[in-house]
Structure 1
């Protein structure tokens, strides 16, 4: 299957002398540079993770707008925004502005959130679940409100004596992007939330972590999740074709630097517990190109998805990450029919 291939950066920085990103500023500026270079290579997407209270990328919209202004073709997106922290109304304004700056290239990945650096960090942002709700329920509710607002229907009563003339009827949030609603993704960690996302008409982002629901290999469970999502999409009666992405750490070992960094990687799935839920983490892939091609041919979830996000080690610098992406595009993707 021909695939959209993008990169996903977690945007780490560290003052360590071994880090290529020693400050938040360096990480932000290098993120823009990598997106520009990736577009020149023919990469399809530049995606960024969002974490709060950490030395990582957080507020995504200034970065997305900057990338959008510096590029012209590449998709720009997130994987994912933790909706427990978000004001859906303000987020609609930010997203609309970033999408319009990019010319309609925004692909927003949302989620209920992941393990964080602090206890209940969303409380510091002014949010609290309603009685009987969990923080996950709150995140999904914020997501539903965000989707409703993106439809662009007026809902706010206009002031009879406004500073500027109003259009007739109730007012919506501005700036509004007409097609952004169809470019919203949900980062799902279970089969149930994948089906929920399909019902609401969101694309699916399935990462390298999900609930261990069957005890099978990660890629097998993820493949089943994708098929369950597509079936739920069909049952919901949506008319457009949904998009599905998976993310993977994939490194072709073609020189000594590659082998030094990734030649001893773990090639097995791992299992742990998140909030008392047994979870499975997908393996990384690091091998010589011919061996890597054989390994990737066996990955059921990659085969099912139309979009592959390659997680990049951003602290190794722009030049090295360009090398990682270029090697996969030229030596791996064509052999697998992705290009």
Structure 2
């Protein structure tokens, strides 16, 4: 059994070919798609965060709105770039969104990926400390977030406050019980996956990672997941971790599917470079008739290792079509693979 959700980057474009032409369209359609996905029986509605782009950027108002409109589906991010975040303010926003949703928030964070502008986090007022890289800065912010989400008091109260305080040091409010255990780290390498395990975060692994062995993407990703689980076990955590992988998967069940994605069968992994330094491998997309798709996905080692699968959706094709994409996987593919 697997949890199956969708992952939307929330692209919008003011062109006649797009069904999502404005930022308002992207936000409102994201809410509608989450409602539709819940009605179809999907398990999660996840959103990517990109700054300085015509994409979803400020996650917490969206997550709170989705939480208010739905009842059972997990709501989450994959991922928020911690180089841009004030971890204390973030803890308050996340706590509020989690409480509105009734404890359904799954908060995916990371040190980020290449952005639309050079060192965009500097415009937000952040810069690495002396001797730090921007990745170090993101991981430092993450450690602060993890600490404050424990819910323990750390701030000395004013002896003459405007309103009465509880005894002792004060914690951030609103506090969302259990959210600390629902943090996920988006890892691009085996080493950062192991780091996340030691800190007790769940693992999100997307459609690209550092090319560390030259093997096919799904083989390297499966090895990353196994390394993460070994590190989790060595750290002695009491609970079982969760692991998600993302994939672009399209079951060709009608003429629309074939028109949009019918030429993609046979896609292969691709090699590229991140920041002109790091060799990365990008996983293939899947698009085929359901019987072919089932055979292809059964051979994907990383999907087999994960407990959660996030389907990346082409959100500019509109809510109805994207709901159809999700339904096709849930109906025609998932049962045959034992995911449902």
> TM-score range, shorter-chain basis?
over 0.9
How far apart are residue 38 of structure 1 and its match?
A: 0.3
Runs of 4+ deviating beyond 4 Å:
none
SS at match of 2:280: strand
Please, what TM-score do these two structures have when normalized by structure 1? 0.99
Alpha-carbon distance in structure 2 between the residues aligned to 1:208 and 1:301: 11
Partner of 1:305: 306
Partner of 2:184: 185
Q: Deviations over 1:58-81 (max 9, x none)?
A: 010000000000000000000000
How far apart are residue 256 of structure 1 and its match?
A: 1.4
Q: Deviations over 1:244-267 (max 9, x none)?
A: 000000001111111111112261
Unaligned runs of 5+ in 1: none
SS at match of 2:168: coil
Do residues 292 (structure 1) and 293 (structure 2) align? yes
Alpha-carbon distance in structure 1 between the residues aligned to 2:262 and 2:209: 26
SS at match of 2:108: strand
How far apart are residue 178 of structure 1 and its match?
A: 1.1
How far apart are residue 28 of structure 1 and its match?
A: 0.4
Partner of 2:271: 271
Q: Deviations over 1:31-65 (max 9, x none)?
A: 00000000000000000000000000001000000
Alpha-carbon distance in structure 1 between the residues aligned to 2:142 and 2:283: 26
Query: Which deviates more, 266-275 or 159-168?
Result: 266-275
Alpha-carbon distance in structure 1 between the residues aligned to 2:132 and 2:210: 20
Do residues 45 (structure 1) and 41 (structure 2) align? no
Alpha-carbon distance in structure 2 between the residues aligned to 1:318 and 1:121: 31
Partner of 1:324: 325
How far apart are residue 336 of structure 1 and its match?
A: 0.3
Alignment of 1:11-160 (within 5 A): 11-160=10-159
SS at match of 1:107: strand
Partner of 1:282: 283
Question: How many residues of Structure 1 are paired with residues of Structure 2 in the alignment?
Answer: 338
How far apart are residue 290 of structure 1 and its match?
A: 0.4
Alpha-carbon distance in structure 2 between the residues aligned to 1:286 and 1:141: 40
Q: Deviations over 1:288-335 (max 9, x none)?
A: 000000000000000000000000000000000011000100000000
Please, what TM-score do these two structures have when normalized by structure 2? 0.99
| Cα-Cα RMSD | 0.5
Q: Deviations over 1:96-120 (max 9, x none)?
A: 0000000000000000000100000
Partner of 1:228: 227
SS at match of 2:263: coil
Q: Deviations over 1:185-220 (max 9, x none)?
A: 000000000000000000000000100000000000
SS at match of 2:293: helix
Partner of 1:214: 213
Alpha-carbon distance in structure 1 between the residues aligned to 2:262 and 2:52: 32
